[in-house]
């Protein structure tokens, strides 16, 4: 009988384990007083809950990629200088408003550059790094080419520009300006993801060769007239620009992020953060995603 009771108790204890909840990460020293207003005390735990609800998911979302980028990308003096220049630009643009903002956050221009601008630079470089390391396959997917595209609202303007360009008497920038176009006339990288020009123009560009020179193409709806020239269809010839253009594509950024999140085995252990990230950016929760299937070429290797 005593054995029976012990066995029953053990069984009931086991059942209690069934009531386990999703995990939350408890904060140490949560009862520490941060401030008192009259008889109202605000503890570290109170503040943690308030901040978590307000910025928790966003903070984690940013911090994770910042931590990874800090591991993968070396900070150069050039990057630091660029970050500081950016802050000084803000100060010039926004004046007192920006200075007051820095004061309210307890920051200087240097610390703002270090804490906010530089990490942004590193995460951009991270995607560029991914793009460089997967350059051939990404070029296969996005087929970048380099071209000059001038847009005109009338056929007469487009034809006049085309004529001048074929003469060689003007630069593309001058041809645009002289014929009522706001196009810059600069070379640009166009990918399969580019939507800033009509599909008819893009289609012609992809079928052109460099020797074709300048050509005129009306848009599908006849409202815009393009004068365009293919500069190069070999991404190796303009690799740096191609990397920048491809790494600006959202799908590539997402692919890069997933790669690095898996590489660094990002995992969430707190259910509140998990739910917050699921709402904000479910793609970051790689723990919910199946591992990617190896490609045949990888298997062959």
Partner 1 sequence: MNNFVKKNWFVCLLIVLFAGISVFYIYDTNKGKLKGKTANGEGVVYSVGDTDVTATDFYNSMYESNGPAALFQKIVTTVADKSVETTDTMKENAKTQAESVISNYATNYPTNYREMLDSQLVSLGYSGMDGLEDYLVNVFKQTELTAQYVKEHFDELQVRNISYILVRFENGDSGEGTPTEDEQNRMAAVDHGLETGTFEDTAKALSEDPSSAPNGGVLGTLDANTTSLDSAFQAAALGLKEGEVSEWVYSSNFGYFRIKCNASTHEGMVKAYREQNSLTEDVEVTDGEIYSDLLNTYDTTLTNKVIWEKAEELGLTFPDPEVEKAVRAYAGMED
Question: Which residues in this chain contact partner 1 in the complex, by CB under 8 A?
Answer: 3-4, 7, 11, 14-15, 17-18, 20-29, 33-38, 40, 42, 44, 46-56, 59-60, 63-64, 67-68, 71, 100, 103-106, 115, 261, 264-271, 273-274, 279
Residue 170 burial (CB count, 10 A): 17
Type and span of the H or E element at 190? strand 188-190
256 closest CA partner among 269, 247, 266: 247
CB of 69 to partner 1, least distance (A): 11
Q: Which is nearer to partner 1, 132 or 270 (CB)?
A: 270
Q: Which is nearer to partner 1, 26 or 298 (CB)?
A: 26
CB of 130 to partner 1, least distance (A): 17
116 closest CA partner among 132, 127, 101: 101
Q: Which is nearer to partner 1, 239 or 278 (CB)?
A: 278
Q: Which is nearer to partner 1, 5 or 195 (CB)?
A: 5
Phi, psi at 39, each rounded to 5°:
-100, 15
CB of 114 to partner 1, least distance (A): 12
What does the radius of gyration of the chain's CA atoms come to, in whole angstroms? Answer: 29
Strands (E), 121-179: 145-152
Q: Which is nearer to partner 1, 243 or 273 (CB)?
A: 273
**Whole-number Å distance between alpha carbons of 159 and 166:** 10
Q: Which is nearer to partner 1, 15 or 291 (CB)?
A: 15
CB of 31 to partner 1, least distance (A): 12
CB of 253 to partner 1, least distance (A): 18
Type and span of the H or E element at 90? helix 77-94
**Whole-number Å distance between alpha carbons of 50 and 147:** 52
CB of 110 to partner 1, least distance (A): 15
**Whole-number Å distance between alpha carbons of 285 and 264:** 13
């Amino acid at each position: 009988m005593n054995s029976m009771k012990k066995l029953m108790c053990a069984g009931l204890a086991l059942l209690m384990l069934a009531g386990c909840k999703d995990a939350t990460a408890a904060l140490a020293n949560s009862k520490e007083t941060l401030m008192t207003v009259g008889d109202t005390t605000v503890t570290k735990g109170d503040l943690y809950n308030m901040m978590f609800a307000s910025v928790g998911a966003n903070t984690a979302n940013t911090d994770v990629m910042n931590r990874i980028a800090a591991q993968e990308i070396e900070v150069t003096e050039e990057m630091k200088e660029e970050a500081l220049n950016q802050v000084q630009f803000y100060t010039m643009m926004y004046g007192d408003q920006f200075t007051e903002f820095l004061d309210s956050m307890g920051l200087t221009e240097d610390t703002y550059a270090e804490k906010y601008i530089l990490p942004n630079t590193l995460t951009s470089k991270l995607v560029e790094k991914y793009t460089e390391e997967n350059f051939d396959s990404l070029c296969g997917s996005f087929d970048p080419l380099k071209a000059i595209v001038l847009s005109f609202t009338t056929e007469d303007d487009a034809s006049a520009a085309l004529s001048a360009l074929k003469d060689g008497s003007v630069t593309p920038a001058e041809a645009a300006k002289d014929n009522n176009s706001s196009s810059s006339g600069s070379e640009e990288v166009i990918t399969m993801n580019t939507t800033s020009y009509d599909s008819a123009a893009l289609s012609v560009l992809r079928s052109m060769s460099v020797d074709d020179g300048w050509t005129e193409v009306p848009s599908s709806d006849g409202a815009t007239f393009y004068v365009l020239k293919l500069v190069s269809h070999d991404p190796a010839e303009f690799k740096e620009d191609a990397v920048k253009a491809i790494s600006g594509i959202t799908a590539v950024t997402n692919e890069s992020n997933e790669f690095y999140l898996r590489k660094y085995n990002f995992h969430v252990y707190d259910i509140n953060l998990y739910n917050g990230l699921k709402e904000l950016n479910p793609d970051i929760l790689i723990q919910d995603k199946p591992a990617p299937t190896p490609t045949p070429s990888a298997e062959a290797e």
